[in-house]
Amino acid sequence: MAYPTVSAGPGPARPGLPDDPLARAAAPTPGCPVEVALDALRGRWTTLVIRELLRGTHTFGELAAALPDLSDKVLTDRLHRLAATGVVHRDRAPGWPTTVSYRLTARGQALGPVLQALWEWGAAD
């Protein structure tokens, strides 16, 4: 279930929040930047896959080895979803055998400080 991220009341936006029509929505909207960001990070293992890719480019096998409790099916799903949202780029090297690697896009790299802030928020007493 999604929740509104800000008050829908009249008047200026709360301090620190953008003065934007989407920030005044009375209900979640698909284009809300906060909802878009949370949707990109949703799903178990997603943040851990991003964490590994923040460390550099990896093949599927390297990601699977770094996250041994993650099933291949779920890893495949997360990589496809992250690629569809523009967070991950899939590189296929020419030649045989085919080598596929995954790396974060600039949009994905921008999640580094976001994940760090979420970690700090979650670790706070």
The rounded percent of the chain whose pLDDT value lies above 90 is: 62
Residue 52 pLDDT level (bands cut at 50, 70, 90): very high
pLDDT at 68: 97
Which tens digits make up the pLDDT trace of 33-42? 888 888 889 9
Which tens digits make up the pLDDT trace of 6-34? 445 555 556 666 666 656 667 777 788 88
d(CA 74, CA 78): 6
d(CA 17, CA 70): 37
Give the pLDDT mean for 87-113.
94
Predicted TM-score (pTM) of this structure = 0.77
Nearest Cα to Cα of residue 47 among 121, 123, 122, 115: 115
Q: What is the dihedral of CA 46, 104, 56, 52, to 10 degrees?
A: 0
Give the pLDDT mean for 82-111.
95
| DSSP one-letter code for 51 | H
pLDDT at 109: 97
What is 43-123's CATH number, 3.40.1280.10, 2.170.270.10, 1.10.10.10, 1.10.760.10? 1.10.10.10
